[in-house]
Amino acid sequence: MYGMVSVQYGNTFAIVGGYHNGAEKDTVYLYNPETEVFDLLEARLSRPKMYATAFLVSEDIFPGC
């Protein structure tokens, strides 16, 4: 897998998107430092992406979501 982007999340980080097995991915994985495993989250990108940009924003700027 390559072309994914990482973003810090608390004391760990998430891996978003990427390219694997001939296709761009819409997946989000969160690294678990206790188990040293990447957990696949239910959250998905709105469409598959590789080499995207990712950053966290406060949910306060999206009232009603």
Residue 1 above 70 pLDDT? yes
Q: Which pLDDT score is estimated for 65? A: 61
Residue with tokens 């959250």: 43
Q: pTM, whole model, 2 decimals?
A: 0.81
The per-residue pLDDT for 56 is: 82
Query: Which residue shows structure tokens 């992406």?
Result: 49
pLDDT at 6: 93
In a 10 Å sphere around its CB, with 0-12 CB exposed, 13-18 middle and 19+ buried, how is residue 14 labelled? buried
**Alpha carbon distance 17, 10 (integer Å):** 19
Q: What is the pLDDT of residues 5-60, one digit of tens each?
A: 999 988 999 999 999 999 999 999 999 999 999 999 999 999 999 998 888 888 78
- 48, two tokens: 């598959």
